[in-house]
Structure 1
């Protein structure tokens, strides 16, 4: 050992270091917090669905351990990775297509195999079929090479059983280890859920903490073919939703149209609607539509009601099931945590509490935070009755309707000012409880956010319409109260006219809402389009609203913008303040057509048809509200769900609005009022369902309408009043 005393050179060096540290400042005591995870993007994923099961992959068919990709069942991710490799390499994708409910095909190449030269000689067709509770794939590997080919085919698998809200938060679940389940079989089990994967003639391998795999050794003869098959199954006894027990509740009409986009959009949409059918686990006989993939594949009051209402031209069976399942969950007590109140229709059903990290949202498994589902329930019952829902089924639901009216005339109007308003008193529920339920959706024209309690314009229209509809049902079935609810509607119209109409740069129009101080929220939005056809507006007021909705500021994109491009809160990629929603546009198209504004309705419908063509005829939940002349094709909203029930149902609404068929089966009348001049071109539909009978309706290129197949006792009446009656 020797003495390490400080030398003059060392002292000088230490002094320099000290000076440098002083100049640079002290190093941080702890590293900066990592950026919070973001909600995964969805717009470029391919969804194959047969509810309550779905598979979300890249366009190449690969399910990678990233983002929202996965094989899901009933709000849990059953497999977080399903990656196909050939000789340790990913095949190169060249095409994919949807092949019907639950089906998809992915075409790729293994160019490193087979003959040399520019033409590929080994092709892989990956055919995926999602079933209720399972997924199967056929791997068809075909060689056109002149010599034999050998390869190792591997399917890399992983499981995290992450709840859907964890995936939505941008997080991942903890890996679940695989267990050897026998020849060619792997299993994963956790949280009461078991996932089993089996590969025909495959070697199953658990890779000790690094996932698991199925492996095949293949040999292709010259110009030969090998077909491999594997499948996954999920056992989930805790799921609250299941596959309906019976056949599809609606018909599939035969359609011819001058505009081919109508036929293609309807075909794709009907496949998607079929794939979204759900039932409660304890009541598989009552079908409703799951709201959308991946986040909302469960019962949503508003979404399921609107979708069922939009599908009434194809039958009343879906409406019956939706009404019954929501009636079973109708509120019976006051609970500020869940938003439940006597008579109120629920918003959302989950298997457990739904918590999205990072935004403070914490919802109970059965949540009632919706201001509009209850009046929409009443109107669906009425409309289904008019389309021919059996009277016995209608009568059985009248007590639930009367309970809903009790909420409408009571707790819905907490301050007793005559308007329906909402406020989240729990502090962790939805801040906004209309269909535009994002936290920033209710804004003044200058962009300021409105403070709750909030009374939305369209909700007052729903309440007016529900009151009229309830009065008709009560009178028809000999129950008391019809006069009271007609008086309620009359008073609502007067109050609305006095308080909601504002003057601004667009002229006079209904405000979006009233805020907590009863000030009109003066932005111009699509919400006011939902008032058309409800009866709340006069003919003159309807004309004013129709003109505003058809203006370039609202209709300059591929459909109807949620907010005028001239408003301070407008952004084309905002969730509710400038984007375009297919169902919103379709509802307004229906209202415009019913009120006699065919040209305006056709303009918006054409925007959806153009968007549908660009999105492969599977309309997303929403897309950007950019101007058509600027972007030429619709810009995706990157987190939009596809398929979405009410977006798919929009195709049925476009067809129905063009035909203008408005039945009143109890009165023995079917009103025929197509869009004047057939602005969407000639259209013929065989297979509409009125009172259970298949009916054919055609509109020629001049707008003349003909019909056949009406059941006895029904008379067609052409050129009826603006409301279609």
Structure 2
């Protein structure tokens, strides 16, 4: 994802949202809300309600008798619901307060908030409530980079409703209304209420965005319980169709439950295409389709729902590059990096869609074959084969810029991302001394993705009766594997170069990228044992996961974005790679240690893994140290526990060939694992694993279960 990059895509440092506990993030589809722990959105902060990549609420502050209420607690049972529990500040000379305020907030295509004032005292009390409201309609990029300015909405009082309109773009607006009639002034709604002893007063406030002539969608029926809201119904439907994964370990069970909830909330449904689902990259700044992030998340989520992968690929295929456009870095066959719909998207991205990524294109082909193995409809997969072939053509014609057999990147203009792999900060790729390379840059993990993509397309060719193409692609993959070992291996160090620079110099930093090479299978057994030993070192293993960069490297900084931090998805991919090489001594032991560390980190973060956290060793700080601008929930971090489960189960279905492989190496602390209603094509299977004992119920007679 775009972050900390001094290109035109991000010209300033991300703002600190108080990752240590100051911010509350709610998300549903492409809408999200950031507030403080009172529920307030204060002006001059990066907080707000964001709809279609624009901030439609920049102020939403509740005052009680002219004062800020005192916070007691925040509860968030789902990613799109929060209950802010507050009290009236004690009056002078009193130790306690008798007035409770509860703000129950739902985020969907707008915001609905029920404010309840409860009098717990023995006397009737009078309360003055005031809600201050404003909007600046600032572009999400501007807010993220701290340059949103002091834009104010055009405010209209329409009887008992407050209307806010964007002064610069008349197509955007917001309407605020209340179920209990307020006194409305420009910028505020207020109520004077009398609450008897033991009584309560309540109002429901709705903030509904609008776009041009687009009708305003209702956020639900007045008084509707939040549990029966549209987002709640949507996530209930997701849970009904998704595989249910349970663990004997209560901590892991809680993490998996949060994973399911967050992935459900991060889904976006394309109503123009029958509600086709795809997953947004993460809150707060990446609530949109991302090539790399959405593909990897869908891969990790295959044990829950193969439909998410199919929808994501269909969406990306429709947006696949068709022409050469340096401004957006579009090229024929290239899978896009990022889509935005904010008011400044054209100025920042060169258009609504930006293509500057080097790895999404091979990942697309890899996922297509995986989705088919997990039961994606054969016709749907076959319809996506032209997109896969166009992706492979991009790899050969545009990805390999100099004909050396490796895929490289160099941004097309000074506006694009300098680094176009997953470590896309400007200084995310460097050598052991910390020096930055000259482009074009060939990343080690990208060559692994290309290797896996060639094999994936070969597997699909074989299924659909094209043996000649399958053989040709496998030969290309074998040739790439050999060339990769020759060009990237550093025999004097015992690991692969993170990249080759524009002069084909090996960048010799020890990084987590080599874990991705294990995951793709491009590493030979000859080198795997040494790689595993390097990843096992204290330089790499923090005790809570793998560092992105070893602590012995010149650019190491445990508080950086990509140079020593821990990214849960990155560690989970490395674990999957280690278990691919489970026959190599030390692989299972390291995988187990890393998974235990990630689980402990998840527990420390309240059951939800963030996008990243600082890479300090566990021996120094007993809990993981948050990274200030980390996204949470973030799609591939949320999905990382699913990849861990799949990998330790050794779960590898093959629907076309009617086989289910389960080769478990579960960590002892996990206890019994169960997958209920695992949908594999037309089969619905219940799977239970305890130790090395595997039980598969409802397995069709024509299927074969492989457990050793």
**1:9-44 CA distance string (max 9 Å, x none):** xxxxxxxxxxxxxxxxxxxxxxxxxxx975311223
Superimposed CA distance per residue, residues 479-499 of structure 1 (whole angstroms, 9 cap, x where no aligned partner): 452222111101101111101
Contact 1:323–1:381 (CA under 8 A) maintained in structure 2: yes
- What SS does structure 1 have at the residue aligned with 2:153? coil
Are 2:67 and 1:89 aligned? yes
1:657 paired with 2:637, answer: no
The 8 Å contact of residues 202 and 214 in structure 1, kept in 2 or not, is answered as: no
Partner of 1:687: 677
1:516 Cα deviation from its structure 2 partner:
0.7
Shift of 1:609: 1.2
Partner of 1:175: 152
1: CA distance, partners of 2:455 / 2:519: 12
Partner of 2:571: 585
Point out where structure 1 has 5 or more consecutive residues left out of the alignment: 1-35, 720-725
CA contact (8 A) 2:78 2:261 kept: yes
Q: 2:202 aligns with which of 224, 227, 230?
A: 227
Residue 482 (structure 1) aligns with: 470
> Which whole-Å deviations, capped at 9, do the CAs of 1:300-357 have from their partners, x for residues lacking one?
1001100111111112111111111111111111222221111111111112685799
- The equivalent of 2:488 in structure 1 is 500
Question: Counterpart of 1:3?
Answer: none
Provide closer, same or farther for how the CA distance between residues 104 and 649 of structure 1 changes in structure 2, counting only shifts above 3 A. Answer: same
Q: Does 1:263 align with 2:242?
A: no
Please identify the structure whose Cα radius of gyration is greater: 1
Residues 420-439 of structure 1 aligned to structure 2 (within 5 Å): 420-439=407-426
Runs of 4+ in 1 over 4 A off after TM superposition: 242-247, 352-357, 676-679
Aligned counterpart in structure 2 of residue 318 of structure 1, from 302, 308, 317: 308
Of 526, 532, 535, which aligns to 2:512?
526
Q: What residue is the counterpart of 1:293 in the other structure?
A: 283
Q: Which residue of 2 aligns with 1:305?
A: 295
Secondary structure class of the residue paired with 1:489: helix
Q: Which residue of structure 1 lines up, in the alignment, with residue 457 of structure 2?
A: 470
Show the counterpart of 1:696: 686
- Cα distance change, pair 37–303 in 1 and its aligned pair in 2 (3 A): closer
Q: 2-side partners of 1:321 and 1:548: how far apart? A: 38
Determine if the alignment matches structure 1 residue 70 to structure 2 residue 48.
yes
- Counterparts of 1:608 and 1:537, CA distance in 2: 24
Report the equivalent of 1:145. 121
1:674, 1:236 → 2: CA distance? 51
Match of 1:403 in 2: 390
After TM superposition, list the pairs within 5 Å mapping 1:181-580 onto structure 2: 181-190=158-167, 191=169, 192-207=171-186, 212-236=187-211, 248=238, 251-280=241-270, 282-283=272-273, 285-351=275-341, 362-479=349-466, 481-504=469-492, 507-580=493-566
TM-score (norm 2): 0.90
Q: Provide the alpha-carbon RMSD of the alignment.
A: 2.3
Task: Tell me the SS of whatever aligns to 2:485.
Answer: helix
In the alignment of these two chains, the number of paired residues is 670
Match of 1:715 among 688, 692, 704: 704
What's the offset of the Cα at 1:692?
4.7
- CA offset at residue 250 of structure 1? 8.0
- Report how far residue 150 of structure 1 moved: 0.2
**Is the Cα–Cα contact under 8 Å of residues 685 and 699 in structure 2 kept in the other structure?**
yes
Task: Measure, in 2, the Cα distance between the counterparts of 1:41 and 1:469.
Answer: 41
Stretch deviating more after TM superposition (532-541 or 674-683): 674-683
Distance of 2:189 and 2:485 partners within structure 1: 67
Displacement of 1:683 in angstroms is: 2.2
State TM-score, norm by structure 1. Answer: 0.88
State the distance in 2 between where 1:352 and 1:100 align: 26
User: How far is 1:237 from its partner?
Assistant: 5.3
1:706 and 2:695 matched: yes
Shift of 1:285: 2.8
In structure 2, the residue matched to 1:17 is none
Compute the displacement of 1:645 (Å).
0.8
Q: Which residue of 1 aligns with 2:221?
A: none
Residue range with higher mean Cα deviation, 57-66 or 367-376: 57-66
Q: How far 1:655 sits from its partner (Å)? A: 2.0
Q: Deviations over 1:471-526 (max 9, x none)?
A: 1111211245222211110110111110101145xx41111011111111101111
Larger RCO, structure (CA 8 Å, separation 6 or more): 2
